[in-house]
Structure 1
Amino acid sequence: MPKPAKTDRALPAQAHARPSLDVVRVWDRVVRGFHWALVLSFAIAWFTPQSAENIHHWAGYAAASLVAMRLVWGIVGTPYARFSQFVRDPATVLRYLLAIIKGSEARYIGHNPAGGAMVIVLMAMMVSVAVTGWMQTTDAYFGVSWVEDAHSLAAHGLLALVLVHIGGVAMASLRHNENLVRAMITGRKRKAAPADIA
């Protein structure tokens, strides 16, 4: 007597846990870990400038180390993590910004040109904050007013860029009907449609 055909109920639990075929893995664990660890280290440093100096310093060192790691991963990492995939020339970034103003920007599976430019600017500003902060711990630059001013200016500039970044993420999420914050947690995004850029 033939055995009855298996139904969905007979499938193992793992089969039901598989991601939808409509999504694709974009951000690897290193990229996601870097992103959220950098958010945390900046937040800790921002809220502990005088109240907990040691914690403030170590948060800055952690941020600088994270950027150094990301620079390496941007060369040897997975395809969407590589700078060659998302760093574009200024003309392309400008065209994309103009397309945003017109409401006609394309959806990118990886970083869009504006997002890629923001990644580079944010990392550069984080390095400047870390370097000027470290300089203040040295005998040569301790108490030097221009170093203190440079550190404060870089930190406030970084905060402004973070706010612009958050606004850009919110706008892109709404325009393309895609939760980019969740994508940076799960690593998955909706698969490319014919009009999207992979």
Structure 2
Amino acid sequence: MVIWDRLVRSWHWYLVAVVVANYWFLEGGDDLHNYAGYALFALMALRLSWGIWGRNPHALLVNFIPTPAAIREHFNDLRSGVIEHPAGHNPLGALFIYFVFLSIAYLSITGWLHEEVDALFGNDFLQNTHRWVSDVLMIGAGIHITGVLVMQKLTGTPLIKTMITGKR
């Protein structure tokens, strides 16, 4: 059964590569860092477009809205040991996706404002919050990886393989 289409899988791994490069290897303020930031913004625009108009039901944003009730139910399922394995994202995974969308949007906007708007160049608030949100995004990525490994173990669902092949 195909869960993630080629666009979603490619998007995921490009996002990983650009975020890792921008955080760990590219110097803030350098041209390559800025271009990577623009690439992240373009990736987000692509994924949001696919999430609205795409043909894959598992990738449509309306199909994984992390409501408080769904999150509560998921936690109850985890506590009881009876865990559903939805074809797409579970409520916590969905919450993480929205966290990533918001983080990348914030990083793109603050980076652009800081670098392209002369009056804001050197603005401590923009610099500090940009750095803080990038740190929080990295922490979130670590939590995401841990969550994927835990859910893969608890459910027996090959989540990592699915993000590579698209099939479950």
Q: TM-score, normalised by structure 1?
A: 0.79
Question: Who wins on radius of gyration, i.e. which is larger?
Answer: 1
Partner of residue 183, structure 1: 162
Q: Distance in 1 between matches of 2:125 and 2:28?
A: 22
Is contact 2:85–2:157 with CA below 8 Å preserved after alignment? Answer: no
Aligned CA distance change for structure 1 residues 97 and 155 (closer, same or farther; 3 Å) = same
Q: How does 1:112-191 map to 2 (within 5 A)?
A: 112-137=90-115, 138-189=117-168
In 2: Cα distance, 1:62 partner to 1:155 partner? 15
Tell me the alpha carbon deviations over residues 96-118 of structure 1, each in whole angstroms, 9 at most, x when there is no partner.
12322443321111111111111
The residue correspondences of 1:40-119 to structure 2 (distance < 5 A) are 40-50=17-27, 53-77=30-54, 78-119=56-97
Counterpart Cα distance in 2 of 1:49 and 1:178: 35
Gaps of 5+ in 2: none
Count the aligned residue pairs. Answer: 166
Quote the Cα distance in structure 1 between the aligned partners of 2:38 and 2:78: 36
C-alpha deviation, 1:133, in angstroms: 1.3
Instruction: Select the structure that is richer in helix.
Output: 2
Instruction: Check conservation: 1:133, 1:151, Cα contact below 8 A.
Output: yes
Aligned partner letter, 1:69 = L
Q: 1:114 to 1:144 in 2, by over 3 A?
A: same
Identity %: 31
Runs of 4+ residues deviating >3 angstroms: none
1:2-46 alpha-carbon deviations (Å, 9 max, x no partner)? xxxxxxxxxxxxxxxxxxxxxx01101111111001001101101
- Mapped to 2, the partners of 1:52 and 1:144 lie a distance apart of 13
Give how far 1:185 is off.
Answer: 0.8
**Per-residue CA distance 1:30-75 (angstroms, 9 max, x = gap):** 1111100100110110123428811111111111110111111001
Counterpart Cα distance in 2 of 1:86 and 1:45? 28
| TM-score where L is the length of structure 2 | 0.92
